[in-house]
Amino acid sequence: MLILGSGLAVALLVTINPFTFLAGSVVAGAAIVATISAAIDAVRKAEGFFIHQGDWEHVTVRLSADRNSILGIYYAAHEKGRWYMQLTDGSRNGYKLDGDGRPIVYSALQSHAAYPYTGTTTRHGGFGNDKTDKGTAWNTAGAIVNITPGAFDSDWLKYPGLWGRKQSKKIDLAELFGESVREYGNGPIGPAMKDCWVKGEPDQPPLPQPQAPVRIDVIEKCDGPIAVAEYRGFLWVAYMNQTPMPSNPNSCTIGFATFNGKNWEDQKLIPIVNASMDQIAMASFNDELHLVCQSRNTLKWYSLALDGANRLGQWVDRTNSGGFIAGNSNPGMATTADKLGLAYRTSDHRLHFSEFDGSRWTTGPDIVDDFTGPTSALGVFNGLFCYGAMVSVQLQTRKVEARLALCYIDTQTSNLSMSNAITMLKAGRFINDQNVFAFTELDGALHIVFSSASGVVDMSLNWARLMERGTELPIDDETGYVIQPPINVGGLGLGTMAVHNTLWAVLSKPPTAAVNGSVWMVPMPCH
């Protein structure tokens, strides 16, 4: 299989126009772009490019030990493939069976890569897309030759050489555009010579993913950021509402709703004069619920202490007490065994961290950080405060992608950087103000829910977990699950919290002309 990477563009540049060797200056940037475009157009006009004689493709059906059910189907495509699950949501993540329970495979035009769906699969940024449709059916029932060792002893299965001509040693454009030679890739080796013959497919099919019984609970006038906290056995959701109180045109309100694991209960509003539609933070500590929000350009601190079983207590403005230092924006709160932590930014955009011990706030030195993302959150992992930020990273290819960075707040060194991150997760495209995430600790693992956006689809909700208390294991991007069925995040806020041992992602969706703002409850697949 021939792998097309950025090396191709380089080869084209070097060969097609010797002047590009000299075009290293900024001034010549436009010329380079024009040259690349011309080269790509030329290749597109050519009959074909990545071509070779001989083409072994495969799919693998994984059955349960009792042979009765399909655990997943691996569809190979080019140098790799992927497992598809049993899904009926019409997404591209599910395998397809016909009425007889036989796998349906769509073989891509000319490349013969296997997919369970029809349509276009973008590859190499559109340069080598795979196209599938429902053309001629190749019904293989009755035409299976069993080549399992012991069942078959054909000569060709043991042939160790290539099944097609060998690749030309250099890519020569004159040869490419000439009529004489059009095969460039090596022919493949036979099935029994491939790694997967001995080792099996890479990875495992993902665990059966829960068909998340997504709750879409409409909370009237929820049209802004949210914060969540667990307090007295309830999941509390605080949400912004832009509609001013009739008595004060400069007010916003923050609404609260409680969720007992099954149903929503009391909803209350508190007006906050001059509140800004900015991030809000909430955490419970010392049997009180604490909330920090932004009003104009300062942070305000409120707390709620409930009286017995009554969940209708009064919020108290404590901004001017306990040595609370009002920062300016981006509050994040979390609680350890004996401290309430608050991360926030000041007007100079510096990150600060304060701890509340129940009577006084203590603020450490300025924290030097290189996180510039629009959202931030504070959590606790292994008993330590952990700060998270969605940051934009410029790749060598000049593409900008989002990364979710999580690192412990070390108030001794006052230094936070991406290089100190205990994990970095890829989150696709960076979309200002729309990459959302939240994390919470449950059963010794840090559970991270985040949005990611690919080039073509809307933002989707993902879940990953950082395992093993006491040791930090980097999360492989591949271990993140896309929550099924796919949920278009595109929202204003996200929070996670465990209530009665179920981890919920709480997502606020902005109102549209047709629908009120709503709160989505998505149970995570960890239980």
Interacting residues with another protein between 73 and 92 (CB under 8 A) = 78
Contact by Cβ (8 Å): 284, 335: yes
Which H or E element spans position 44?
helix 29-45
Among 12, 16, 39, 108, binds another protein (CB under 8 A): 108
Please say which residue, 18 or 149, places its beta carbon nearer to another protein: 149
Among 13, 23, 28, 55, the residue binding another protein under the rule CB under 8 A is 55
Are 428 and 454 within 8 A, CB to CB? yes
65, 42 contact by CB (below 8 A):
no
- Is residue 334 within 8 Å of residue 378, measured between CB atoms? yes
Tally Cβ neighbours within 10 Å of residue 197: 15
Stretch that binds another protein, among 61-69, 225-233, 388-396, 406-414 (CB under 8 A): 61-69
Q: Which of 192, 306 has the CB closer to another protein?
A: 192
Which one of 156-164, 354-362, 363-371, 471-479 is the stretch in contact with another protein (CB under 8 A)? 156-164
Calculated CA dihedral for residues 143, 146, 151, 157, nearest 10 degrees = 110
Q: Which of 89, 133, 476, 478 binds another protein (CB under 8 A)?
A: 133
Q: Which of 140, 362, 394, 397 binds another protein (CB under 8 A)?
A: 140
Least Å distance, CB 63 to another protein, is 5
Residue 164 found at the interface with another protein (CB under 8 A): yes
Segment contacting another protein (CB under 8 A): 102-110, 235-243, 355-363, 485-493?
102-110
Residue 18 touches another protein, criterion: CB under 8 A:
no
36 binds another protein (CB under 8 A): no
Contact between 490 and another protein per CB under 8 A = no
Tell me if 201 contacts another protein by CB under 8 A: yes
> Which residue in 18, 101, 246, 470 binds another protein (CB under 8 A)?
101
Q: Is 423 near another protein (CB under 8 A)?
A: no
Q: What is the Cα–Cα distance from 364 to 199, expressed in whole angstroms?
A: 53
63 binds another protein, rule: CB under 8 A: yes
Which positions from 375 through 394 interact with another protein, judged by CB under 8 A?
Answer: none
Instruction: Please identify which residue in 83, 84, 163, 239 interacts with another protein, judged by CB under 8 A.
Output: 163
Q: Which is nearer to another protein, 194 or 426 (CB)?
A: 194
Give the interface segment with another protein, choosing from 46-54, 219-227, 351-359, 420-428 (CB under 8 A): 46-54
Query: Whose CA is closest to 110, among 95, 130, 91?
Result: 130
User: φ and ψ at 198, to 5 degrees?
Assistant: -90, -45
Our finding on whether 44 is near another protein (CB under 8 A) is yes
Q: What is the 3-state secondary structure (H, E, C) of 435-453?
A: CCEEEEEECCEEEEEEEEE
Give the interface size with another protein as a residue count (CB under 8 A). 91
Residue among 159, 357, 454, 500 that touches another protein (CB under 8 A): 159
| One-letter amino acid for residue 480 of the chain | G
The residue among 134 and 262 lying less far from another protein, judged by its C-beta, is: 134
Q: Are strands 226-231 and 376-381 parallel, antiparallel or unpaired?
A: unpaired
Binding mask 495-514 for another protein (x = CB under 8 A): --------------------
Which of 5, 18, 150, 308 is in the footprint of another protein by CB under 8 A? 150
Peptide bond into 523 cis (omega under 30): no
Residue 333 tokens read as 């709160």
Choose one: 58-66, 220-228, 314-322, 430-438; the region binding another protein (CB under 8 A). Answer: 58-66
Rounded to 10°, the helix 29-45/6-16 angle is 100
Cα–Cα nearest to 353, from 337, 368, 375? 368
E-strand ranges in 242-383 read 251-259, 264-273, 281-285, 288-295, 298-304, 315-317, 329-335, 340-345, 351-356, 361-363, 368-369, 376-381
CB 350 within 8 Å of CB 376: no
515 is a contact residue toward another protein (CB under 8 A) = no
Strands 493-499 and 119-121: unpaired
Residues 167-196 that bind another protein (CB under 8 A): 185-187, 189, 191, 193, 196
Shorter beta-carbon distance to another protein: residue 48 or 323: 48
Give whichever of 4 and 306 is closer to another protein, judged by the CB atom. 4
Site for another protein contains 98 (CB under 8 A) = yes
- Residue 200 contacts another protein per CB under 8 A: yes
Within 8 A by CB and 6+ apart from 384, the residues are 336, 408, 409
